[in-house]
Structure 1
């Protein structure tokens, strides 16, 4: 993809169209697809579409800012790159290209347990790195990953709590999806728990690998063990029920990510945006709240802020940008999100992300004001 084509992108959705053209069919399905009948995948977007904002007027927005504090550190946008596995399946530079773009944009990059580049190399890009952890069957490997993330300079630990098993992603199963040659989960090298290389009919190699290494026995009591083995701020990703959010805050979680895994886990789960207000009300400031699943535009970010989130995680648009043009493609997507957010904040009468919390919202048609 030429730089001129990237400059011609007007929205992150333009990157999606380019990615659909350039990615192999199996990889494109892996990135874009969801679980089951993809009801939750579609519902995530529908939730954003039916939420309406009431802009404020006669507010001086001649000088606006997009800076925010997501956890402990300031960011240029109320946005972090979501944890996403195997990014070299999308582009040869994989996580390194995406992390360099995040560094340029001034936003955190979340390195995944199943990354195709080592956390040390990702951190060397200069980006603010958060490390995402799946709860592993092998506690020794878990301790090693925690130590590596801390030594590399990770600023937070994000524990994914909605994946005791992988959701039934039917497109991957039908295509017996396996990773492209040379792409692997590098944190499991040296012959331990590698991704199966052979495809089998009706089986996703990714699902088989996840089942082999992720421990489904994860429970609240394990958070104490985790606290004993890391000094990093702890974020729990994958919470929808306010009762779970309340318990997470009581356990001292520094952050909570309201998420249904982008529609890739339980099909039929509540859209994350619809779950957000009750979580915000229940947590009542005890933990920072981030929103993940379905964010596609700057206006989407504004809607999440209006419902009380401190910021959002952005996933698929980053992968589309990566496919479209490597680091330059991700940079273009992040630039578009910044430009869209700047415009949306100003038109809503908000000089900065923090002021968006005072906006009222309504769900259409005929929804009550909030």
Structure 2
């Protein structure tokens, strides 16, 4: 194999794929990257057996071939090289790299030892703006929590319908749902549960990409694809296994009505909850006293070792008066995911789920359970 490529282009690729080439003591082959030269393309492949990443770029391919090399070593060395073209050439089980006055010889391995990436059928797909999709995913993916007892809530639930996509995550204490409204050319509806690590990598890899992100469905895997701008060929493939099982019927816990509704400045509410969190106790409790007559929300927290905090926040309040306690971390997380200047807070009782929603955006809601104080 003999390839010539610009250093900055190769650096872009290795920075994308190396993030899942994690150190593995049981399967050291996963610490490596598979480098290929085929036709007019160079490609880099890594996998952790849950996620597979493949990146392509146009390059000058004088001789085709492939080799496996340590991902971290390869990445570190490429980062130190000067800008400009570099030459990559295999010599038996070694990879020689030349760039200006720099020379290196990296010991590699046989490509036959590297795990094959699963193949995902490309019969039916959807195309969405990459940045819009990643922004939506980033509003929910970190709500999920690892659970051996209930692996289905460890991931992110996707439901693709002809007019919208629902993206949902929960840890049983709170839940986030984001809708993307789009006309999708689907012959049927698709739903699956994506591992949380995959969701995080999708945001890391594709959030800055302009153009469309293609999503291909299959029973056990899903493929996310972005294309090269120079030619009609993939630039990145991210393939992930799916979590087996059925996602909970989350619609059953989303309140359909409310007894008290508050419209507040998001930033003021967020700052006061953050301030109250400094004085909360072991269960991270922050208490809200809501009065429609006063048109205020009083916020209170106390800690026997630190002292107490009290503040008030004006807002548009309708419905009955209510005193309710929440975990401050859950409230803060929900508020940070809302992008509008004002937030709607809907409550039913001291023990039933409450809902945070952005003003002017029907596509997002955040459900949070109160702390029972009985």
User: What TM-score comes out, normalization by structure 2 length?
Assistant: 0.20
User: What TM-score comes out, normalization by structure 1 length?
Assistant: 0.20
**Greater share of helix residues, 1 or 2?**
1
Higher RCO (CA 8 Å, separation ≥ 6 residues): 1
